[in-house]
Structure 1
Amino acid sequence: MLFTYVIPPAWALDAYGAAPASDPSADIPPFVIFAMLLVYCVGFHVFVHIPSGLLGTRLGLNHGGLITYASALAIAGVLTASALLVALRMEDVGELMQLWADFMVRGSLGLAGYVWMARRSRETTTT
């Protein structure tokens, strides 16, 4: 989740540049863009990150970390696509795929940390 705040997505930077703070006629004030970034980040974490991390760990319970990570990524990919289709109802497939790829790159780093932490905690409890 922290990666989303450190490097904001391209759409947030484009929207922020299009809405200068000194322009009272701007459609969206700049602070709303960052608030929406926070909403997207928390929503992605709740609807995609947590379920895919838990299901991926459960499916890869008796397998190596790579199988656990791959299953978590596959689940995250399906959940991300579903969430974007439901939430945004985009017509342009290219734009949807670009947004999906952005979310998946950001989410894959978080899932890698989650899988590592889950494997490590299971190893310390069994020894």
Structure 2
Amino acid sequence: MHLSGAILLFTYVIPPAWALDAYGAAPAGDPSADIPPFVIFAELLVHCVGFHVLVQIPSGLLGTRLGLDHGGLITYASALAIAGVLTAAALLMAPRMGDVGELMQVWADFMVRGSLGLAGYAWATRRSREITKT
């Protein structure tokens, strides 16, 4: 799971669109800005950790368990399906998600970032199973 979390954190090198919009609306020298720029970076970190704990870890573990006797692609696909459902459930509980278009955009952003981390996790678990078999 550390690999998937590290990959997820690395994907935030390219910030999501909402963070870029918020950062542009909060100039560093403006004391009347609603959100200081460092809060935007802190929120990115909270999103990353929250997504990793609420979605990536459970979907990786369940996907690995469901695809245990099957190939790596089945493991990855089941982990992605579980991640999609968990991400949608988490976003529907978020207080500011009223617009369906915004909800789908944020869901797609999380799924792209999470799928890269889950791919790393699926590769690592498959590789560890190959090593233990020999």
Is the pair's TM-score, using the shorter chain for normalization, greater than 0.5? yes
Corresponding position of 1:47: 54
3-state SS of the aligned residue for 2:86?
A: helix
> Aligned AA for 2:104?
M
* Maintained 8 Å contact 2:9/2:48: no
In 2, the alpha carbon distance for the partners of 1:105 and 1:3 equals 13
1:54 is paired with a residue whose SS is: helix
CA contact (8 A) 1:4 1:41 kept: no
Runs of 4+ in 1 over 6 A off after TM superposition: none
Residue segments in structure 1 that go unaligned for 5+ positions in a row:
none
Identity of aligned residues (%): 87
Aligned partners of 2:41 and 2:104: how far apart in 1?
A: 22
CA deviations on 1:65-95 (whole Å, 9 max, x unpaired) are: 1100000000000000001111235221111
**In the alignment, is residue 22 of structure 1 matched against residue 41 of structure 2?**
no
User: Which TM-score applies when normalising by structure 2?
Assistant: 0.92
Number of matched residues? 127
Q: Which has the higher contact order (CA 8 A, sep 6+)?
A: 2
Question: 1:2: how far off?
Answer: 2.5
TM-score w.r.t. structure 1 length?
0.97
Local SS of the residue matching 2:94: helix
SS in structure 1 opposite 2:44?
helix
Aligned to 1:104: 111
Instruction: Judge conservation of contact 1:3–1:106 (CA < 8 Å) in 2.
Output: no
2:59 counterpart letter in structure 1 = S
- Which whole-Å CA distance do the structure 1 matches of 2:10 and 2:110 have between them? 11
Look up the SS of the partner of 2:31 in the other structure. coil
State the SS of the aligned residue for 1:69: helix
